[in-house]
Chain A
Amino acid sequence: MNSGFWTVVGFTARNKLRAKSFMITTLIIAVIMSIGINLPYIISQFSGESKPTPVGYLVTTVDQTSSQMFTASQIGTLLTEYYKSQQPKPDLNIVTIKPANDSDKDNEEALKKAVADGTIDGYITFTPSKNKGDFPIVTYKSESLMEGKVSQSLKGALQGVKQEAILRGGGLSDELMTLLRSPVQLDTVQISTNGGAGSIGQGKTEEEQGMDMLTVYVIIILLFMAIMISGQMIASEITAEKSSRVMEILITSVAPLRAMFGKIFGMFLVVLVQLAIYIVVIVINMTLPHNKEKLGDMGISLSNIDPVLVIYALLFFLTGYYLFATLFAAVGSIVSRTEDLGQAVLPITMISLAGFYICILGGIQNPGSTLVKVSSFIPFFSPYAMVVRLGLSDPPLWQVWLSIAILLASILAAGWLSAKIYRAGVLMYGKKPTLREIGKAMRSYK
């Protein structure tokens, strides 16, 4: 009778994979994923490789700053130099504008004209400070609203220019100047102190840590999607079989348990196929040359993914799937009409959502928190929480296996309970039964 099980598996998987709705959903999600991965590249294409914003200033003979140390032309030159040497690419492009004459008003007009021409986006003017000898007050004028990026950049640049001007005045040697200018290097490395099961191993660079965080995000979202979507599919298929009364024929042909686990396993194959498609789409998109470069700039690269984490993630996906799937099957068997299903699966959905949010909102920011630690041993939360801990902190090996053991035990318990509910539920029609009625019905089948 083992053939019964595989017949159900085959029928379930075949019908689902061939269904138009399934193909369309998979395709849409794959397209969304591709767009997401290509987004950095697409944005960079639209913003035209983000040319430096041209900013003008006036080269006048009459100095506006009334300061000996910081003349307008000196500041202008230093600013130009500063931006020319900015890495990886300059924010701004400093442009000199020829003055019209000696009149301030006409000069302002000339600058405005340059903005109108499009030669420059905005310009800076200098007003003498109250204290003679101080750095002049610089004003950036442009047509745009809230030019935060430009003013931030200018502020930083002007600070540097000011220091440079002072230091030059102080007669510092070039050697010392270079030393002073060179930035401080700070590396952060995540280390493991107890040789735990996490993916830290020999220590991790910041890039690897970032990639881990991203991987954990993606895994948790995929896990959540796989559990919810497949769970809903299992429940609704069982309810549909019930409401179309195929169930009566099915359970006279194959033992109810085989029918239920056949359905769960068949749907598991479907989910695997779907996940495989998504992973292939992600990998292909990420390895496309243009994306590889763009994402590489952001520190995202496939080679930074930790294989240990992936293996554990698969393990927790497997256990998490079966735990939720059996419960969804049980709920599906109780309900007789598809319309009632949404309400009936709500408790399971809520539990799954709770686990998901604990990890997405709290866990990823703070994987060592007590909440996440406790959650990683609670069956319905542990598939999410333990993956977070494994990816981002360093749980001891025994804790990981304890968590898996608890999960396996709960799967057995949930499987046993669901099988009993299923056996009784599939023949219950009419209104939604109460817990007592289910209990009563369960006792009448051995």
Chain B
Amino acid sequence: MNALSLEQVFKQYGEKTAVNGISFEVEQGEIYGLLGANGAGKTTTMRMVLGLIYPDSGKIRYNGKAYSKEQLRGLGYLPEERGLYPKVMVSDQIIYLAQLRGMSRRDADQNLKRWLDRFAVPEYYGKKVEELSKGNQQKIQFIASVIHKPSIVIMDEAFSGLDPVNVELLKSTVKELRDGGTSILFSTHRMEHVEELCRNITILHRSNPVLQGNLKAIKKQFPRERIILATEGDVSGLADIHGVMNVTRHEYGYELLISSEEAGRPVLEQALRQTNVTRFEIMEPTLNEIFIKTVGENHE
């Protein structure tokens, strides 16, 4: 049984279709990536999962059950924009939000202290949110979404506005949550985060799910058409090899675009004839490339 499943969910605002028949499943202890350009329907999908708005048609099930008010308590939400009271103390508002989700004051307090320690910022307990930096507010926001130990967490742009150190910190925390059995629906613009965290993804484009499935399987569907070649000396005549479409010179060597993987072998042989090769790799397409390709093609 899946922690979360969407089945042909459809939502329309007036004339405009916001989400056009999205279906996916999130297993327990899985991070599911929801990708798409701005306005593609990610936030609407997330809001429907949260029960903020109701789908016009289709089904959303939580651990096999339909939506009910009680399900709310099992959900955690990390919104894209800051959603905290600027003038209220961190402890007051986090405990308040936890209590609203049915936690006792004492448990909430203990949990909050544990999380603040985990992020190495115990001194924020008695501070007002407006006194904290943007990155630190994001940590508090993160705590607010997981303090009540939800089984499903929805994270909309979880890492926006954070410095690299804090991104790593939150990333490892998200992985810990996943390993603890929490299911996470995760949206971001940063493809490298998705590649690191998500097993399955859906790419939304203009309200339509255009690409969906296991990340590795998706990558296999796309041809490998890039070669990274690092050499000690110069290599000439690369552009003349059959199947090589473009050669770009970099500081470390060459990047080649090829029409098929067959062009790899002659390229390496050509290079070895002239100098020593330190690195040769036929690159997997990055998710970034896949994303741009999928979304870009549909743009036309």
Q: Which residues does A use to contact B, with CB under 8 Å?
A: 1, 3-4, 7-8, 11, 14-15, 19, 240-241, 244-255, 427, 440, 444-446
Contact = CB atoms under 8 A, between A and B. Distances in A.
B83 A247 contact: yes
Given A7-B96, A15-B92, A427-B52, A252 B82 contact: no
B100 A4 contact: yes
Contacts of A250: 97, 100
B100 A427 contact: no
B146 to A, nearest CB: 12
A389 B97 CA distance: 46
B243 interface: no
A384 B80 CA distance: 46
A419 B53 CA distance: 15
B85 A246 contact: yes
Nearest to B102: A3
A428 B109 CA distance: 33
Interface stretch (B71-79, B164-172, B214-222): B71-79
A13 to B, nearest CB: 12
Nearest to B14: A440
B115 interface: no
B75 A252 contact: yes
Contacts of B99: 3, 7
Contact of A244 (B14, B86, B102): B86
Nearest to B11: A444
Given A244-B82, A244-B83, A244-B84, A249 B69 contact: no
Contacts, number: 67
B115 to A, nearest CB: 16
19 contacts: A1-B69, A7-B99, A11-B92, A240-B85, A244-B82, A246-B84, A248-B52, A248-B77, A249-B77, A249-B83, A251-B52, A252-B72, A252-B75, A252-B77, A254-B72, A427-B47, A445-B53, A445-B54, A446-B54
Interface of B: 13-14, 47, 50-54, 69, 72, 75, 77, 79, 81-88, 92-93, 96-97, 99-102, 144-145
B69 A255 contact: yes
Given A251-B52, A446-B54, 18 more contacts: A4-B100, A7-B96, A7-B100, A19-B87, A240-B85, A244-B82, A244-B83, A244-B84, A244-B85, A245-B81, A246-B93, A248-B77, A249-B79, A252-B52, A252-B72, A253-B97, A427-B53, A445-B54
Q: Which interface residue of A3, A246, A446 has the most chain B CB atoms within 10 A?
A: A246
Contacts of B145: 249
The 10 closest A-B CB pairs, nearest first, are A245-B83, A253-B100, A254-B100, A249-B83, A7-B99, A245-B81, A11-B96, A252-B50, A246-B83, A248-B79
Nearest to A441: B13
Q: Which interface residue of A14, A245, A255 has the most chain B CB atoms within 10 A?
A: A245
B187 to A, nearest CB: 14
Contacts of B53: 427, 444-445
A109 to B, nearest CB: 75
B233 to A, nearest CB: 57
Contacts of B81: 245
Nearest to B79: A248
A266 to B, nearest CB: 12
Contacts of B72: 252-254
A248 B96 contact: no
Contacts of B88: 15
Contacts of A253: 72, 97, 100-101
A444 B72 CA distance: 20
B11 to A, nearest CB: 10
B17 to A, nearest CB: 14
Contacts of A14: 92
